[in-house]
Amino acid sequence: MYQKYVQSFLDSCKKDNSFVVMLKWDTMEEAHEKIKQKCILIQSVGNLIEKYQFGKTLLSYYKTGKIMLTEVDHIETLLDKLFS
């Protein structure tokens, strides 16, 4: 399911099970709406970054179409839950 929204993802260089997710441009707004519905907003930094809590995972959404996820057990399962 997440493949509709996610272009790619890769391990971050951090040691806390972090991933960087790149969203597809044509579905980025729809993906952002799903994130806003399913996550708890923690902080908004200007008009560029929004930080959310999704279970135990911290999610930083960048308006450029990038998401930084930290404390991820299984990336594909998490993305399926987030974008279902």
For residue 8, what are the contacts with CB-CB under 8 A and spacing of at least 6? 21, 22
Protein fold of 2-83: TATA-Binding Protein (3.30.310)
Question: Which pLDDT tens digit goes with each residue over 3-16?
Answer: 999 999 998 776 67
Query: For the chain, which residues make up each domain, given as ranges?
Result: 2-83
DSSP secondary-structure letter at 2?
G
Give the confidence band of 30 by pLDDT, cuts at 50, 70, 90: very high
Cα–Cα dist 84/79, whole Å: 8
How much is the pLDDT for 82? 94
